Structure 1
Amino acid sequence: KDQVDMIQFPDGKRMLLLSQGRLLNLGNATGHPSFVMSASFTNQTLAQIELWQNRDNGKYERKVYTLPKHLDEKVAKLHLEKIGVKLTKLRPDQAAYIGVKTEGPYKPDHYRY
């Protein structure tokens, strides 16, 4: 398979090396790796901005967090044009029907894409 190499050591033991030892999500990305990297870097940048802007207000402790859903959706929105997608805005009646704000976020924080 692509990006899968078997290495055999002199003692006969074998090891599968994936993606030449690089990060799997970047080294084995299919389609457009630069697009995957752009989404990943945008995600990290927005997370750093969020942490910096809230550094003194006690919103975040020193632990691992999942990116807030509104920022996760912002990352997606910033990349829609590249994949040829045009996002329309919800009308107030549509947003009320599904119980969200017109500007989002559109999924609860625990939802995973």
Structure 2
Amino acid sequence: MKLNLHDLGERLQLLRKGLDLSQKDLAATLETHQNQISRLENGIGGTLELLVQLLNFYSDHFHISFIFSDEFEVIKRSEPLSHMSTFNSIAIERLKILQTDVNGQITDIIGIMEKEGSF
């Protein structure tokens, strides 16, 4: 896979959403305009200066060493990679996401079953 502006924009958007920030909130933090964040995330373009600023900001919260790689994953900086293999970090983050999804689905199923039982 060759990385293009659209792919990079999607990755930047995943990082922003990983921090639960809106484009407006991120723009305010970086003292820029929301439309500049939007242009980068949509792969339309933007300045190299803003891209570097975003990467520096995200590097405080995530391991971004693979942002330009085929093996890109959103890995929070809860523990340094030197103490844990990259694959274990990725697995843990994916399991946390899966756990949240499964818990929500189980709650939905229980609700449906309880509702059906009340007939």
Length-normalised TM-score, structure 2: 0.27
Greater Rg over alpha carbons, structure: 1
| Greater relative contact order (CA < 8 Å, ≥ 6 in sequence) | 2
Length-normalised TM-score, structure 1: 0.28
Structure with greater proportional strand content = 1
Structure with greater proportional helix content = 2
